Amino acid sequence: MATSDVRVDTWNAGVDFPIFDAKTRSIKKSVIGAAGGVIGATGSNVMVVEALKDINLHLRHGDRVGLVGHNGAGKSTLLRLLAGIYEPTSGSCRVRGRVAPVFDLGVGMDPEISGYENILVRGMFLGMSRKEMLRKVDDIAEFTELGDYLEMPLRTYSAGMRVRVALGVVTSTDPEILILDEGIGNVDAAFMKKSRKRLQELVERSGILVFASHSNEFLAQLCDRALWIDHGRIRQEGGIEEVVEAYEGPEAAANVRRVLADMDKDADSTDGEDAE
């Protein structure tokens, strides 16, 4: 697909979850808590969680958007809507392009088969062919630094070891639209440092990135715009620093500035190395 054709559009999109087995007093009015979406009730007293409401989003090639917001704000629901896992219950959503959804890096991995086999299966789950994955498997194996462990069943791995495999696979794919949900937190600092470059390259290769994270550091590293989702609605849209400041305050914004400045420094020193 031509890069100009890759796009994500939603028009007043909403997602409601009816909850048929909620044990509660009847709810007459909508309830907004500190966490979670808006809870209401239908005419027949079925509870409904309004996870997203009136979402208007128009992303084009090159857009790298981070989602911030409280627990239950609707970030994961929005990612799932864009990935086609959920249909909008109101409004509409159209996505053109090959989507790689990475919600939980570990999802789609089989604990009973080896690390190697999981690399192949997970790559195919993300839209790569078996042949392509066979070509990439050695490079991914080397990246994970798991050595002979890759012959062992995945159930024998620690959480961080599993994330290494998953990160190795996802950063080897070529999605047009990359939909990324946190879950990268489990690896140790040294491996994360090494992964950052691969993740940034992946983001550069993909046409559109939508990334939900509670880590401002990650958002600053991977995205250039942010959306603040609040109780299912887009509350603010803008640069990362500006949105983080509105959502979390000046200290968090200062941290974003520091991360951006460090990235500039790293880029300058790498340019220097390239020139040598």
Ligand X SMILES: Nc1ncnc2c1ncn2[C@@H]1O[C@H](COP(=O)(O)OP(=O)(O)OP(=O)(O)O)[C@@H](O)[C@H]1O
Task: Give the Cα separation of 146 and 118 in Å (integer).
Answer: 13
| Residues whose CB is less than 8 angstroms from the CB of residue 85 and which lie 6 or more positions away in sequence, other chains included | 101
Which residue's CB is nearer to ligand X, number 73 or number 161?
73
Q: By the criterion CB under 6 A, which residues form the site for ligand X?
A: 17, 19, 36-37, 49, 51, 69, 71-77
Q: How far apart are CB 232 and ligand X at their closest, in Å? A: 7
The least distance separating ligand X from the CB of residue 250, rounded to whole angstroms, comes to 22
First to last CA, the chain: 38
Closer to ligand X by Cβ: residue 17 or 125: 17
Query: To the nearest whole angstrom, how small is the minimum distance from the Cβ of residue 69 to ligand X?
Result: 5
CB of 77 to ligand X, least distance (A): 3
Signed CA dihedral, 77, 81, 86, 92: sign only: positive
Give 147-205 as a DSSP string: GGGGGSBGGGS-HHHHHHHHHHHHTT---SEEEEES--TTS-HHHHHHHHHHHHHHHHH
Name which of 27 and 121 has its Cβ closer to ligand X.
27
Residue 60, CA distances (Å) to 66, 151, 152, 216, 273 in order: 14, 41, 42, 23, 33
In whole angstroms, the minimum distance from the beta carbon of 127 to ligand X comes to 23
CB 102 within 8 A of CB 172: no
CB of 19 or CB of 263, closer to ligand X: 19
Q: What would you measure as the largest C-alpha separation in the chain, in angstroms?
A: 72
Could you give the 3-state DSSP secondary structure of residue 234? strand
Q: Is 63 helix (H, G, I), strand (E, B) or coil?
A: coil
Alpha-carbon span 213 to 156, nearest angstrom: 28
* Beta carbon of residue 17, minimum distance to ligand X (angstroms, whole number): 3
86 CB neighbour count, 10 Å cutoff? 18
Q: Which CB, 22 or 263, lies closer to ligand X?
A: 22
Nearer of residues 36 and 66 to ligand X, judged by Cβ: 36
Which C-beta is closer to ligand X: that of 69 or that of 115?
Answer: 69
In the bound complex, what is the minimum distance in angstroms from residue 50's beta carbon to ligand X? 8
